[in-house]
Amino acid sequence: MASEKTQAIVIRLVEFSETSCVLTLFTEDFGKVSALAKGARRPKSAFEGALDLLALVRIVFLRKSSDALDLLTEAKLERRFRSAQRDLSRLYAGYYVAELLAELTDTGDPNRELFLAADQALLALDTGAGVPETILRWELEALRQAGHLPSLDACVVCGQPVTAAGRVPFGMAAGGVLCETCRPGRRGVVSISAAVANLLKHEIQRLEIAEAQAPIPPEVRGELRAVMASYVAHQVGHRLRMSDYLASQ
Ligand SMILES: [Zn+2]
């Protein structure tokens, strides 16, 4: 068994026995990992209370070669997700970061950029950044890493330029806006406002050049959340549990 050291975000925590728990961790170097933490629920465990949901931790774990769970041997807390105690909307947003991370990734598929993006999103939520803006940046970054960014300025089927004015047809399954030729007969098409289409287009451009985000106007937040919840659901295969809790963001 190889012993590995890395940083990780705790994205799921399930009690396993009276003294142990099973963790899902998204690690900096090994992607998503499921590990058993023996004795973690004892008052004086080797993990010193580091194993909190959404905490950033430095871990040592033993990789099992078979289907067995990896074994967590050490965990040191680097940063707790403190918003949990302060603000429900930030807590839900944090859970959503974890849920999307868990759903979009396969076990043992390393992706350092995705790890850094999740870490940054949790830190932003904890340090007072705008909640709707942080959620959107995280979603777009996660979708980009997974190769699922929507197309907003060209028809996703034929590539013809589409200018959003008034309302524009958006294929949830197809993955972006549709021209008038490609729209008929296609399933899973909704009509989105030009305001939301353009906001998404500009935020994707900003993401790609690592530029700061623009504030999201309150009047488009409801529609934006509905569009993103449905879009993410189509990419993942089911609606995310936390989507409903973000509806008012
Ligand atoms: Zn087309």
What's the 162 CA to ligand 1 centre distance in angstroms?
Answer: 8
User: pLDDT tens digits, residue range 85-144?
Assistant: 778 999 999 999 999 999 999 988 999 999 999 999 999 999 989 999 999 999 999 999
What's the 41 CA to ligand 1 centre distance in angstroms?
Answer: 56
Give percent above pLDDT 90 in the chain: 81
What's the 183 CA to ligand 1 centre distance in angstroms?
Answer: 7
Radius of gyration of the chain (CA): 20
- Residue 28 CA to residue 60 CA, distance in Å, equals 12
By CB atoms closer than 10 A (0-12, 13-18, 19+), residue 120 is middle
C-alpha torsion angle, residues 209, 213, 218, 220 (rounded to 10): 0
What's the 75 CA to ligand 1 centre distance in angstroms?
Answer: 51
What's the 225 CA to ligand 1 centre distance in angstroms?
Answer: 25
- For the chain, the average pLDDT equals 93
What's the 174 CA to ligand 1 centre distance in angstroms?
Answer: 11
Q: Compute the average pLDDT of residues 160-171.
A: 92
User: pLDDT tens digits, residue range 202-236?
Assistant: 999 999 999 999 999 999 999 999 999 999 999 99
User: What pLDDT is recorded for position 56?
Assistant: 97
For residue 171, what are the contacts with CB-CB under 8 A and spacing of at least 6? 156, 157, 177, 178, 183, 186, 188, 189
User: pLDDT tens digits, residue range 43-94?
Assistant: 778 787 889 999 999 999 998 877 788 999 999 999 999 886 778 999 999 9
Q: Record the tokens describing residue 199, joined without a space.
A: 């906001």
Q: The pTM is what? A: 0.93
What's the 238 CA to ligand 1 centre distance in angstroms?
Answer: 26
Q: Is the dihedral of CA 156, 164, 209, 203 positive or negative?
A: negative
Whether residue 249 has pLDDT greater than 80: no
- Residue 103 CA to residue 115 CA, distance in Å, equals 14
Q: Half-sphere exposure (CA, 13 Å, Cβ side) for 162?
A: 27
